[in-house]
């Protein structure tokens, strides 16, 4: 990546994923959306392409790429199917990345290869019924007994937690308390790997969602769940802080996905504006439509620049928290605004689920909520300004 342009290697990756999205993913998107079915055949093909291993070293079964390569793939997938894109995004940035960033060498050797190969998926169990944006309000508890963690609690909105190939979910839990310098007590929150199928760990019925219908999302319950003490991921008491850093990276990925969704709406609206005729002209002839599409393209372009910048800072080892927050907010709003405008351009057809713009209209709202609401992004940006 140089001066916001793409090197030949990055461009080739982007083009390859774009062709895959158009030729393989798009034709089955409507069916999986209608059936609320997980696209196992698409995931298998993405695995064969190496997409799940993009940012991981070859020694752990990865492709030896970087996070920006993942973002480019997510943008191209997000153009045609947000459910497929979020399956990849969550599988890599939320499922596998915590193990890569904070795991012991033994944990990396055990868990990463099947995740990087796309043979398995993992989930990220942070959100709870009473702890969403305020993730520090975690109520799930874990304590050590006879060399094992005993975990009790609930998680919700957990992506990739209940597929046939889900291997584990990393959950945050309160493992004790610590006294602050002022005498107040602070929760000690740690992260623990919980393999699927562990007794007491129940993947509940999937949600009936407004959008992302082909994405796997469940609430989870943990009742006296026993896992080995060595399943602690990262240092004890660092679970919350570590996951916050994972979310900073993840916001770049979500921004890329959202940019793709915004661009997908432009592409569909542009094609329709040229083909649809009214009052003797293609509707794109009229400024009421052409100006709307021009604004849509501007939003997509701005979102792309924002996530490119955040990714460049991250790869250069520079602070990027605020830039990731801005990229996520700008791209999420661009996706939602473009979906609304594209639906308006399509008229009645935009209200029919088989049309991509209708799916983007339902899917895009969560981009302003998931992995940090717009309000959380504004809070992070304001803090960076010293407010």
How far is 350 from 165, CA to CA, in rounded Å?
35
Catalytic residue chosen out of the listed positions 119, 249, 371, 375? 371
Decide: residue 132, CB within 10 A, 0-12 exposed, 13-18 middle, 19+ buried: middle
CB-CB contact of 82 with 360 (8 Å): yes
Is 8 noted as a catalytic residue in this protein? no
Inter-axis angle of helices 82-89 and 356-363, to 10 degrees? 40
Which stretches within 21-54 are classed as H helix?
26-35, 40-49
How far is 251 from 299, CA to CA, in rounded Å?
18
Report how far Cα 13 is from the mean position of its chain's Cα atoms.
19
CB-CB contact of 82 with 212 (8 Å): yes
Which stretches within 202-276 are classed as H helix?
239-275
Backbone angles phi, psi at 176, to 5 degrees: 155, -170
CA count, 13 A, side-chain hemisphere, 25: 29
How far is 151 from 142, CA to CA, in rounded Å?
4
Residues with a catalytic annotation lie at 371
């Amino acid at each position: 990546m140089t001066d916001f342009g793409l090197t030949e290697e990055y461009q080739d990756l982007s083009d390859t994923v774009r062709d895959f999205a158009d030729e393989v993913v798009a034709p089955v998107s409507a069916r999986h959306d209608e059936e609320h079915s997980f696209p196992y055949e698409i995931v298998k093909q993405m695995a064969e392409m190496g997409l799940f291993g993009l940012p991981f070293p070859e020694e752990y079964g990865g492709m030896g790429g970087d996070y920006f390569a993942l973002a480019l793939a997510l943008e191209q997938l997000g153009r045609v199917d947000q459910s497929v894109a979020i399956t990849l995004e969550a599988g890599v940035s939320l499922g596998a990345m915590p193990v890569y960033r904070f795991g012991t060498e033994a944990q990396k050797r055990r868990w990463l290869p099947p995740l990087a190969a796309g043979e398995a998926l993992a989930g990220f169990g942070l959100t709870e019924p009473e702890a969403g944006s305020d993730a520090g309000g975690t109520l799930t508890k874990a304590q050590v007994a006879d060399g094992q963690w005993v975990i009790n609690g609930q998680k919700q909105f957990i992506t990739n937690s209940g597929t046939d190939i889900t291997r584990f979910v990393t959950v945050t839990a309160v493992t004790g308390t610590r006294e602050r310098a002022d005498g107040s007590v602070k929760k000690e929150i740690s992260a623990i790997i919980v393999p699927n199928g562990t007794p007491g760990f129940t993947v509940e019925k999937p949600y009936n969602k407004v959008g992302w219908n082909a994405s796997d999302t469940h609430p989870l319950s943990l009742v006296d769940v026993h896992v080995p003490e060595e399943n602690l991921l990262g240092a004890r008491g660092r679970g919350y802080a570590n996951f916050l850093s994972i979310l900073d990276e993840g916001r770049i990925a979500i921004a890329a996905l959202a940019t793709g969704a915004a661009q997908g709406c432009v592409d569909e609206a542009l094609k329709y504006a040229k083909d649809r005729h009214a009052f003797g002209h293609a509707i794109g002839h009229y400024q009421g439509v052409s100006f709307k599409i021009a604004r849509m393209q501007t939003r997509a372009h701005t979102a792309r620049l924002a996530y490119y910048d955040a990714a460049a800072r991250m790869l250069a080892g520079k602070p990027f928290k605020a830039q990731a927050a801005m990229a996520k907010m700008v791209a999420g709003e661009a996706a939602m605004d473009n979906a609304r405008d594209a639906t308006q351009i399509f008229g009645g057809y935009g209200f029919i689920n088989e049309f991509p713009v209708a799916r983007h209209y339902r899917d895009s709202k969560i981009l302003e909520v998931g992995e940090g609401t717009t309000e959380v992004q504004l809070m992070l940006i304001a803090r960076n300004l010293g407010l």
